[in-house]
Amino acid sequence: KQEVTQIPAALSVPEGENLVLNCSFTDSAIYNLQWFRQDPGKGLTSLLLIQSSQREQTSGRLNASLDKSSGRSTLYIAASQPGDSATYLCAKRWSGGSNYKLTFGKGTLLTVNP
Amino acid sequence: DVKVTQSSRYLVKRTGEKVFLECVQDMDHENMFWYRQDPGLGLRLIYFSYDVKMKEKGDIPEGYSVSREKKERFSLILESASTNQTSMYLCASSLYPTGEKLFFGSGTQLSVL
């Protein structure tokens, strides 16, 4: 069974701090991994997509890494801002079997305090 | 940017009613998905479609059906709504089935009373 775990479930940091969100997954047969942001009561916004052949992707203050051998991905947010407050979810698409489905983690609720 | 539009933001229905949730995407994407999101359970795939008139069951299809008559529109149908179908429903689309970003709509919060 494909499982994706995000720890911690919630994180509170002061503004300006650099932070790391963690995502771990079972089964190293990964096709790609995607990070999403979700604001309260809204849909998900795609942040970064890392293919299995890649080790990291960057967009602005965000950097996502992928380590297939250890079954981990991290999302690094530099110089956090109150506007970064949201729930961050990772989702793994696995190779073998159906390539159409993602398995989502339950998310990390991030609060950045001014 | 890709736009995925869900017709209703909030919906309140009675037990036993037939409910239609509509989703439209404007970027000619091949693949469309319906998820539900519940506290503590995360996102779970209900159905997906990789082409017009094609559909495949996800992880929790029971109590739901779908329709895709046109490429841009994917409908989720609750044949006889029940209280355990109260949830946030999220539609998503992607260009290809693999290796591409998934784009989500804003969600429909459905309450079944």
Nearest to A44 among B45, B97, B104 (CB): B104
Kindly tell me if the per-residue pLDDT of B99 is higher than 60. Answer: no
Residues in chain A: 114
- Given this model, what pLDDT does residue B27 score? 87
A27 pLDDT above the threshold of 90 = no
Task: Choose the closest CB to A34 out of B42, B102, B109.
Answer: B102
Q: Give pLDDT, residue B85.
A: 98
Asked whether the predicted pLDDT for residue B91 surpasses 90, the reply is yes
A44 CA: distance to closest CA in chain B (Å): 6
Q: What pairs with residue A110 in β-bridges?
A: A11, A86
Of A15-24, B16-25, B28-37, where does mean pLDDT reach its minimum? Answer: B28-37
What pLDDT is recorded for position A31? 83
pLDDT over 70 (residue B94) = yes
Taking residues A49-59, what's their average pLDDT? 93
- Name chain A contacts of B106, Cβ cutoff 8 Å: 42-43
In this predicted structure, the answer to whether residue B104 has a pLDDT above a threshold of 90 is yes
pLDDT in tens, B30-71: 889 999 999 888 899 999 998 888 898 988 999 999 999 999
Handedness of CA B82, B83, B84, B86 (dihedral sign): positive
